[in-house]
Amino acid sequence: MRGRASLTAAMLTFGGSLAAGPAHACTLCHSRIADDVRAAVFGPGFWSDAVALISPVPLLAAMVIVMRRYLP
């Protein structure tokens, strides 16, 4: 019974920390640094970077399908 009580207490503590209210960790949203980061992420190379990041997904999915279908 002691283990169940400590698990319940841990879950309540964790849940309370998640529902504590709005987080004030992002203090840089309207700063020069935030503007620089947004410019770097969404700059002129955004689409080429996105394509390079997503391009292996169809190949890996095809490999998984082939392996599940034809290997024992």
Encode pLDDT of 4-49 as tens digits. 677 777 776 766 666 655 555 565 677 788 888 888 888 999 999 9
Rounded to whole angstroms, the Cα distance separating 66 from 60 reads: 10
Provide the whole-model pTM: 0.45
Joined tokens for residue 62: 């095809």
- Tell me: pLDDT of 60 over 90: yes
Burial string for 53-70 (b: 16+ CB within 10 Å, else e) reads eeeeeeeeeeeeeeeeee
Report the pLDDT value the prediction gives residue 18, as an integer from 0 to 100.
61
What's residue 31's pLDDT?
79
pLDDT-based confidence at 63, cuts 50/70/90? very high
